[in-house]
Structure 1
Amino acid sequence: MKKSQVQKYSKDLIQLEAELMEFLGLSSEASQAVELDQARMGRVSRGDAMQQQAMVSAAHQRDEKRLIAVRKALKRTETDDFGFCLECGEAINLKRLDVAPETELCLDCQSLQEQRQPL
């Protein structure tokens, strides 16, 4: 991969890292404990609030995992490992990196990994 391409992806990763850090800071307020006082809110509202809290928590966990992957990818840009599959060592398709610059695996290795994982 050309140095200019790696620099472009590095900029994209830095921007993505900043966005994820902002999202994680904002979403921590929404994942606070739900008050279960039925006198203040009805049963349906409390259930909706708990469901919303669970969804925010799941999104928060997903964003934390993605932030870790972004930081790992940034380290790979510094060591010339960026853009190569961590499993087979082949170059990762640039279109795949355009969509998710933090990608660690080529499409074939990602598919194999997903097939091995139990549902």
Structure 2
Amino acid sequence: MTHSYRATLLSMLAALDAEDSAGKDSQAIVDLDQTRVGRLSRMDALQHQAMAQASARRRAAERIRLQAALNRLESDEFGYCADCGEEIPPDRLAIDPALSRCAECTRGS
């Protein structure tokens, strides 16, 4: 069973890597040369750059979460709530194998 979780987590990490590669150009420094690019085009480019950088930050946070789940797999802590120690139901892990908390602890009960 842990093999399928490992495969899913690795697949999710690979998808993040592919998104990072595709978004590299969007995060590049915007050229502010007014003789080549108009003001509105520069504003649009800056907004696009900011959105790409925000997406990269979200992917980085997700990568940390996925790597933590892989580390839990290695240490036999995978599938158990980090707060209360109870088992996380397999149906929840099937939806998101990077979960580290059970539903009750997530809700704060």
Quick check: TM above 0.5? yes
Q: 1:39 to 1:93 in 2, by over 3 A?
A: farther
Are 2:79 and 1:83 equivalent residues in the alignment?
yes
Partners of 1:96 and 1:42 in 2: CA distance = 50
Give deviations 1:23-60, integer Å, cap 9, x for gaps: 22332222011111222222222111111111110110
Residue correspondences, number: 108
- Equivalent residue, structure 1, for 2:16: 20
Q: CA deviation at 1:11?
A: 0.8
Deviation >6 Å, runs of 4+: none
Are 2:103 and 1:107 equivalent residues in the alignment?
yes
Partners of 1:36 and 1:88 in 2: CA distance = 53
- Equivalent residue, structure 1, for 2:27: 31
5 Å matches for 1:31-110? 31-110=27-106
Partners of 2:31 and 2:91 in 1: CA distance = 46
- Equivalent residue, structure 2, for 1:117: none
User: What's the C-alpha RMSD, in Å, of the aligned pairs?
Assistant: 1.6
Tell me, yes or no, if the aligned pair for 1:84 and 1:104 is still in contact at 8 Å. Answer: yes
Tell me, yes or no, if the aligned pair for 1:84 and 1:105 is still in contact at 8 Å. Answer: yes
Partners of 1:107 and 1:49 in 2: CA distance = 41
Residue ranges of structure 1 left out of the alignment (5+ in a row): 113-119
Tell me, yes or no, if the aligned pair for 1:24 and 1:64 is still in contact at 8 Å. Answer: no
SS in 1 for 2:19: helix
